[in-house]
Structure 1
Amino acid sequence: MTTLSPLNALPALAVTPLSNATASVASVSATASQESVTTSASTIVTIPSMIGVDAPVVYTPEGKLANVAPTVTWAQNSTDAVTLAMAGDYMSQPISGQFYGLGSALLDRFKTTGSDFSQSVNVASTGGVSGLGQSAQGPQGDIKLTVKTASGVEVDIALDSGGGTLSVSMHSSGKLSDAERDALAKMADGFQHAIDGLSAVPPTVDLSGLMDADPSVVSSVKLQFNVTNDGSNNLAVDFSTSSATRTLSISGAAGKMNVDVDTSNSALWGSDAQRSQAIASYLKQIDNATARGHGNAALMSMFKDAFSQMNSSYGTPSQQLAGTAYAPWLAQSDHAMLTGLADFSASVTETPVSSNPFRLGEVDAFAYQLSQSTRTEGNLLKGTITQTQQSHLSASYHQALTGTGAPVLNTSKTSQNYYYMQINDDADSTTQIATEKGKLLSASLSQSSSQSTHQSEYVRGALVSDVTTPSSSSHSKDLLALLKPLFENGQAERNSDAWQQALAGIHSMVLLGATTS
C-alpha cells in the first residue's frame, strides 16, 4: 500500500544561484535517497522522487480542478421533445442559443397533454468555463409566459438560464379543455418567434404571434423577458394583451420605448385598408423624426416594428360606440374622418450620451412621442366625436462643420469645430364630428405644426454663432362641405366610385402629418 504525504510535507527545494551569469543550463537530480550533486557552473535543484506516488491534484487560479470534464445532471431522465431541445441548447454560449426551439417545444406539448411539466439540466464545472457558457457572473436569461383562458384557468410557463443551469416549467391552475389546449398549442411558433427576436443581437420585435389567439378562448397573454449580466446586450421586456388593452415596454442599453393601445372601443376601428394606411403614415413620420433628430437607427427600427405590430389586426369590430350614452352606428363617412386605429400612446427615448468631453453639458439625446385619443359626448339621439392626434420630438446632437457626420471630439481645442443642434417639434390634428338621428350635422378638421431648430457653431472651442430658427403652420377644413355634393346627388346612397374616392381622400387628410410635415 502506497502512503501519500501532504504536499506541504515534501522537503524544501534547495536552490543555489548560478555562479556564472551567462550560464544557461541547469542540472536537476531527483533520487529517492535525495542525493545532491554539485556542479560549479549550474544551479542545483533537489526534488524528492515521485516514483510510486500519485501525481498531485492541480487546481486553476479560481480554485477549480483543472482538466476535468464538467458534470451534467438532469432533473428527469427523459427523451421527450422538450428535454431533447434542452440537450441541444445547454452547451450554447449566447442566450439566443440556450432558448433555441425551447418555447415552441413547451407549447407543442398542449397538442397531446395539458399536464404540468418541469425539467432542468445543471452543468457543474470543475475545470473552468461551464457547459452553459460561464459562471454565475455570466449572462442570465429569464422568460415567463402567462396565459389566462376565458374560463379562468391560468397557465404559467417559465424558462431560465444562467449559472450553469437551464430549466423550464409549466403549470396550469386547473384542467384545460380541448379548445384551450389547442389555442395554447397554436401559440407555439409565435412564442418562439418572440424569444428568438428579443434574444438576437441586436434584438428585434416579433410579437404578432402572441396576439392572434381566439378571444373567446384566451382572455389575456403576458410575456416577460429579461437578460442580465450581458453588458450592452442586457434587455428587459414586458408585454401583455387582452380584449381591452395591449401594452409593451422595452428597456436596453440603447434606450427605452413604450407602446400602449386601448382596444376597448372597437367601433373606432376602421377597415383593414384604413388601418394599413394610418400605420404607414405613422411609420413615415417616425422615419422623418429619426432623420431630423439623428435617432439611433436600430432602436428606431425596433420602435417601428413595435408600433405596427401593436396596431395590427385588433379582431372583429362592433358598430356602436361602447361605454357612453351616445351610441350611434358609425357610417362610412364617420369612419373616413377617423384614423381607423384604436387610441394609443407611444414613446421612445434614447440613452443620453455626453460625447463632448470639452462641454459635458452638450448631450446627444433623442425622445419622440405619438398619441391618439378619442372623446365621445351626447345621448342616443345626437352627439359628437372628437379625435386628436399629437406628436412631439425633442433631440440634440453634434454635427461636423463639413459633411453630415458626427465630429470626433476630445479635450483638444483643435477638435472643437462643430455644430451643436437642438430640435423641438410639435404637431397635432383634430377631427370633430357631430350627428343627430344618424345624420351628419358637421365635420371639421384642424391641424397645426411647429418646428424649432437651435444651431450653435463652435470653432476651436469658441462659440461663433448661435441661431434659433422657428417655423409653424396651421389650417382647418370643413369636411362636410367636401361630402355635401355627393350626398345631394345620390352618390353616397349608391356607394359609387366617386363616393369611395372622396372618402379615401378625406381619410388621407385627417392623418397626422398629412399636411403638417
Structure 2
Amino acid sequence: MTLITSTGASVLDRIAASRTASTYRPAGVSAQAANAAAKAASTTSSSGPTRVTLDAADASDLVYAKPRAPGFGPQRFWANARDDGLSELMTRNSGKDAVSLADRWRGLGSGLLKQLADTGAAYKQTLADYVPGADAAGAVGASDGTSGTDASATAAAAAALQEQALGGVSTNAAEVNLTIQTRSGHTVELKIGVNNGDQGGTRGLQVEVKSSGALSSAERKALADLGDGLDSALEGLGEGAPTLDLSKLMAFDRGGVLSGLDLKVENPNAPADVPGAMRAFSLHLGTDTKSVSMRTTSGEMNLEVDATPPKGAATNGQRWTAIDQLLKQIDAAADRGHADAAMTKSFKDAFQQLQAPPVDEDPSSASSVAKAVAKNDGQPIAINASAGGADEVAPVTPPMSDGLRSQVQSLQSGLADFKASFSADSQRTSRIGSIQEAGHADYRISQTTTDRPNTATGGRSISQAQTEEMDAHYEKSRTFTLDRAKGNYDAYTVKDSKTVTTLIDTVKDSVSRALRKTDEHRQKSFSQIENFKATEHNEWPSQRSVTERLR
C-alpha cells in the first residue's frame, strides 16, 4: 500500500482534486490510478491529513501531488474529459520546455488529420494552464468552509474559474487554420490555437478538426498522407527565424481526390523588437494557382505561380535549370540592393518550392503532355460577351505537335508564369553586435506568357515577358555604430529595372521566327552626409537595350 499525506485540506482542495482527476490524465498515468486518486481525494475530511490509498499495481504508475485550491496557484483545466493520444500530445506540448511555437505545434497537425482519417469523427479539445491573479485568489479563497452554502459557493467559484481559464486560451492566441476541399464537395477544417499567456489570455492549447460530410476511404487516406507535410511546414514557421518547408504539402493531391488546400497562420504575439519574427503566413494550393505570402516584423513577401503547365511545358531538367538561374538572379539583385538576408532566403525558398515540378511525374511524360494539351489546347471555343450581348467564338488555337513543343520549350524560360515581390527593412551588424548599416528594399519580379493564333502563318504567336525591379536605399556608418540622429553617415540608393521579352512565331510544325529583346536600366547613387547635409554626391547610371535573333 502507498500512503500520501498532506495537511490543511479544504473543500476547495477536494473540488480541485476531483476536477483534476476527472479531466486531466498526464501521459504515463493509468486511467485506473487516476480514478482511484479522484475517488480518494473526494472522500477525505476537511481537516487533518489527507490519506490516499492505492493498490500496489496503481502506485507504480501514479505520481500524485495534492492539488492546490483554485485561485491559489497554477491550475490545469480541460474542456473535455478524454483519455486519448491527442490529449497526451497536448500535455507534452505544454511542458516547461515547450517555448517556441514549433514546440507547441509539434505533431498536432498530423495527429488531428490522423484522428479524422481513422475515425471520420470531429474532434475538439482545450487545455488551459491558468495562474489567477490576486483578485481571483481572494474571491475564490473567501468561501473556504464546510457548510452547504459555502460548498455551493465554492463549487460555483471553481466552475467560473474553469470557464474563465478555458475561454481565455483563444484570447490573442497564435492560430493555425487549415482548410481542405475535396473533389466530392466536402470541406475539412483544422484549427490549432497556441497561447503563451503573455498578452492577456490564458496559457494553453486549443485544437479542432471536422468535416462538412462523410469522407470516403480515399479521402481519409489523402488527409492522413498530408500529416507529415503539415508538421514540416509548421515546424519551420514556428522557429524564431521562420523557414519554409512546403515541399511535402505541394503533393497534396497525389490521389486525385483533393481539389484545394489553404493554410493560414496568425501570430499576434510576434515580438516587435525581434527582426524577422513571423506575424502571418498563408499558403494556397489550387487547380489554377499556387501562392505564398508571409509577413514578419521586418517586412512581407508575396508569390503567386500558375499551377497549369504552360504550352510547351518544360521537362523536369529544364525546369530545375531555370529555377537555379532565377535564384541566382534574385541573389544578384538582393546583393546590389543590400536586401534583408532572411527575407531574401525565405523568398527564394518559396519560389523554388512553388515552381518545382511534381516529384512523381515528369511534365515531358505522355500522361503529363496529354493533360497539358487537354487543359490548354483542348478548348477550341471560348465564349465572351460582346457589346451587343451576343456570344463570340474565339479563334481556335491548333494543338502543338511533339516536335513543335520541343522547339518552343527550348526558347522559353522553362518556368510557369508567376508574379512575386518582397518589401523588407534590413540591418547589418558588426562582430560585437552593433548596427553598422540599415536600409529598406522593394523587389518585384514576374513572368507573363501569351499564346494567340497567327492567321497569317496558320500557326501561333507566342510572347513571354519577364520583368524585374529593385528599389532600395541603405545607410552605412563611417565608424562603429550607425547613428542617423547625429546626421553623419553614407547614404546609398539603388533603382534597377529589367525587361526580357521573347517573341515566337510558328507555322504548323516548326518555329518560323524567334526574337529576344532586353531592356535594362540601372542606377546607383552615393551621398556623404555630414551634419544632415550632403557634402558629396555621385551617381552611376547605365542603360542597355539589345535584340537577339534566336531563329
TM over 0.5: yes
2:327 is the alignment partner of 1:283? yes
The alpha-carbon distance between structure 1 residues 179 and 307, as it changes in their structure 2 partners (threshold 3 A), is same
1:400-419 alignment, distance < 5 Å: 400-401=477-478, 408-412=482-486, 416=488, 418-419=489-490
Q: Find the aligned partners of 1:408 and 1:158 in 2 and give their Cα distance.
A: 44
Q: Find the aligned partners of 1:168 and 1:331 in 2 and give their Cα distance.
A: 49
The Cα of 1:461 is off from its aligned counterpart by 4.1
The Cα of 1:78 is off from its aligned counterpart by 2.5
Q: Find the aligned partners of 2:279 and 2:219 in 1 and give their Cα distance.
A: 31
Q: Tell me the alpha carbon deviations over residues 380-435 of structure 1, each in whole angstroms, 9 at most, x when there is no partner.
A: 94121100111000000012458xxx85215446xx1x321010001121111111
Q: Work out whether residues 473 and 494 of structure 2, in 8 Å CA contact, stay in contact via their aligned partners in 1.
A: yes
The Cα of 1:331 is off from its aligned counterpart by 2.1
Q: Work out whether residues 66 and 127 of structure 1, in 8 Å CA contact, stay in contact via their aligned partners in 2.
A: no
Give the 3-state SS of the residue equivalent to 1:339 in structure 2.
coil
Q: Tell me the alpha carbon deviations over residues 232-291 of structure 1, each in whole angstroms, 9 at most, x when there is no partner.
A: 335111211111101111111110000001123443431111111111111111111221
2:76 is the alignment partner of 1:72? yes
Please identify the structure whose Cα radius of gyration is greater.
1
What's the counterpart of residue 40 of structure 2? none
The Cα of 1:205 is off from its aligned counterpart by 1.0
Q: Find the aligned partners of 2:69 and 2:535 in 1 and give their Cα distance.
A: 65
Give the 3-state SS of the residue equivalent to 2:311 in structure 1.
helix
2:461 is the alignment partner of 1:387? no
2:449 is the alignment partner of 1:374? yes
Q: Tell me the alpha carbon deviations over residues 133-160 of structure 1, each in whole angstroms, 9 at most, x when there is no partner.
A: xx87996210010111111111011111
2:371 is the alignment partner of 1:300? no
Q: Work out whether residues 71 and 131 of structure 2, in 8 Å CA contact, stay in contact via their aligned partners in 1.
A: no
The Cα of 1:210 is off from its aligned counterpart by 1.5
Q: Work out whether residues 422 and 453 of structure 1, in 8 Å CA contact, stay in contact via their aligned partners in 2.
A: yes
2:182 is the alignment partner of 1:149? yes
Aligned with 2:104 (options 98, 102, 107): 98
Q: Tell me the alpha carbon deviations over residues 303-338 of structure 1, each in whole angstroms, 9 at most, x when there is no partner.
A: 111111111125654353446732431421110111
What's the counterpart of residue 546 of structure 2? 475
The Cα of 1:442 is off from its aligned counterpart by 0.8
Give the 3-state SS of the residue equivalent to 1:231 in structure 2.
coil
Q: Find the aligned partners of 1:451 and 1:151 in 2 and give their Cα distance.
A: 52
Q: Work out whether residues 90 and 98 of structure 1, in 8 Å CA contact, stay in contact via their aligned partners in 2.
A: yes
Q: Find the aligned partners of 1:236 and 1:327 in 2 and give their Cα distance.
A: 44
Q: Work out whether residues 268 and 342 of structure 1, in 8 Å CA contact, stay in contact via their aligned partners in 2.
A: no
- Structure that is richer in helix per residue: 2
Give the 3-state SS of the residue equivalent to 1:166 in structure 2.
strand
What's the counterpart of residue 500 of structure 2? 429
Q: Find the aligned partners of 1:90 and 1:73 in 2 and give their Cα distance.
A: 12
What's the counterpart of residue 231 of structure 1? 271
Q: Find the aligned partners of 1:425 and 1:419 in 2 and give their Cα distance.
A: 20
Q: Find the aligned partners of 2:193 and 2:269 in 1 and give their Cα distance.
A: 14
What's the counterpart of residue 139 of structure 2? none
Aligned with 1:213 (options 249, 252, 268): 252
Amino acid of the structure 1 residue aligned with 2:335: A
Q: Work out whether residues 498 and 519 of structure 2, in 8 Å CA contact, stay in contact via their aligned partners in 1.
A: yes
What's the counterpart of residue 174 of structure 1? 213
The alpha-carbon distance between structure 1 residues 473 and 87, as it changes in their structure 2 partners (threshold 3 A), is same
2:191 is the alignment partner of 1:117? no
What's the counterpart of residue 83 of structure 1? 87
The Cα of 1:352 is off from its aligned counterpart by 8.0
1:446-465 alignment, distance < 5 Å: 446-465=517-536
What's the counterpart of residue 310 of structure 1? 354
2:518 is the alignment partner of 1:444? no
Amino acid of the structure 2 residue aligned with 1:114: G
Aligned residues: 402
Q: Work out whether residues 73 and 122 of structure 1, in 8 Å CA contact, stay in contact via their aligned partners in 2.
A: yes
Give the TM-score of the pair, scaled to structure 2.
0.68
Q: Find the aligned partners of 2:331 and 2:176 in 1 and give their Cα distance.
A: 31
Q: Work out whether residues 300 and 422 of structure 2, in 8 Å CA contact, stay in contact via their aligned partners in 1.
A: yes
Sequence identity percentage? 28
Q: Work out whether residues 407 and 510 of structure 2, in 8 Å CA contact, stay in contact via their aligned partners in 1.
A: no
Give the 3-state SS of the residue equivalent to 1:69 in structure 2.
coil
Give the 3-state SS of the residue equivalent to 2:321 in structure 1.
helix
What's the counterpart of residue 201 of structure 1? 240
Aligned with 1:183 (options 222, 231, 237): 222
1:239-250 alignment, distance < 5 Å: 239-250=283-294
Q: Work out whether residues 189 and 211 of structure 2, in 8 Å CA contact, stay in contact via their aligned partners in 1.
A: yes
Amino acid of the structure 2 residue aligned with 1:239: L
Q: Tell me the alpha carbon deviations over residues 68-101 of structure 1, each in whole angstroms, 9 at most, x when there is no partner.
A: 4322122233332222211101233432222111
Aligned with 2:440 (options 365, 369, 375): 365
What's the counterpart of residue 411 of structure 2? 337
Q: Work out whether residues 65 and 127 of structure 1, in 8 Å CA contact, stay in contact via their aligned partners in 2.
A: no
Q: Work out whether residues 420 and 444 of structure 2, in 8 Å CA contact, stay in contact via their aligned partners in 1.
A: yes
Q: Work out whether residues 398 and 407 of structure 1, in 8 Å CA contact, stay in contact via their aligned partners in 2.
A: no
What's the counterpart of residue 305 of structure 2? 261
The alpha-carbon distance between structure 1 residues 473 and 266, as it changes in their structure 2 partners (threshold 3 A), is closer
Q: Find the aligned partners of 1:138 and 1:119 in 2 and give their Cα distance.
A: 16
Q: Find the aligned partners of 1:161 and 1:327 in 2 and give their Cα distance.
A: 54
Q: Tell me the alpha carbon deviations over residues 92-143 of structure 1, each in whole angstroms, 9 at most, x when there is no partner.
A: 3432222111111112224522221111112222369x9x9xx879962100
- CA RMSD of superposed structures (Å): 3.0
Q: Work out whether residues 393 and 425 of structure 1, in 8 Å CA contact, stay in contact via their aligned partners in 2.
A: yes
The alpha-carbon distance between structure 1 residues 472 and 410, as it changes in their structure 2 partners (threshold 3 A), is closer
Q: Find the aligned partners of 1:464 and 1:66 in 2 and give their Cα distance.
A: 69
Give the 3-state SS of the residue equivalent to 1:376 in structure 2.
strand
Give the 3-state SS of the residue equivalent to 1:331 in structure 2.
helix
Q: Work out whether residues 313 and 414 of structure 2, in 8 Å CA contact, stay in contact via their aligned partners in 1.
A: yes
The Cα of 1:363 is off from its aligned counterpart by 8.3
